[in-house]
Amino acid sequence: MSNALVTVPKTAKKGEIIEIRTLVSHNMETGYRRTERGVPIPRDIVRTFSCTYNGVEIFSAELRPAISANPYISFYTVATETGMIAFHWKGDNGFSVSSSAHITVT
């Protein structure tokens, strides 16, 4: 649905280094905040992010409470072949979001 936004170029030349930008919708509750009454609000964050290119993992990240809400991660990869670049976010309380983008490499 609309809980992940990924920016991947639609086409690229083989060997070209491309930039990938990702955004996922998540509050990233740190676990350090308290309610008005002083009750601690439990930690609830995205824990891992991984990117695969035609099934091979090319990048991954480990997120901590220090990452701002609606985590933004951008990185680079080499355009090796046409196919699917897939993204997966996993976090507390069963949080699991996937997204993908097709790239044509010539």
* Site for other proteins, rule CB under 8 A: 2-3, 5-7, 17-18, 21, 23, 25, 27-28, 30, 32, 36, 53, 56, 58-78, 80
Residue whose CB is less far from other proteins, 40 or 104:
40
Residue whose CB is less far from other proteins, 67 or 103:
67
**Closest CB 96 distance from other proteins, rounded Å:** 17
8 Å CB contact between 76 and 19:
yes
- How many Å apart are CA 51 and CA 8, to the nearest integer? 12
**Closest CB 13 distance from other proteins, rounded Å:** 12
Which residues are within 8 A (CB) of 7 and not within 5 positions of it... i.e. 6 or more apart?
19, 20, 21, 22
Residue 20, both tokens = 């990938």
